[in-house]
Amino acid sequence: MEKVSETARDAGRRAVNLTEDIADAIRQRPYTALAVAGGLAFAVGALWRLGQQRPHTRLDSLLSHLPELPDRDSLIPRRWR
């Protein structure tokens, strides 16, 4: 139990030191900090966007918005193909 509490205190100290270091870096170089934050936001947005599936073609996009349309094979009788 004592090991756990010691580890928690150590993690708390590290977190405080890290936040102080980040605050100092932002005060010293605000534009660099803003650029880093913007880059991270762009990367997170790009990864989020990659996770979404998009239709590959315009036809797929149209069919995804109009799912009640019959498919092409059912419109043309087999003997005409």
Task: Express each pLDDT in 5-30 by its tens digit.
Answer: 889 999 999 999 999 999 999 999 99
Query: Residues 25, 33: contact at Cβ < 8 Å?
Result: yes
So where are the chain's domains? 2-80
Specify the DSSP class assigned to residue 68. Answer: T
Please give the mean pLDDT across all residues of the chain: 83
Look at 26 and 57; give whichever has higher pLDDT: 26
Whole-number pLDDT of residue 27: 94
Q: Determine the distance from the C-alpha atom of residue 21 to the mean position of all C-alpha atoms in its chain, rounded to a whole number.
A: 27
Query: Residues 55, 64: contact at Cβ < 8 Å?
Result: yes
H-run or E-run covering 23: helix 2-28
Whole-number pLDDT of residue 72: 63
Whole-number pLDDT of residue 77: 64
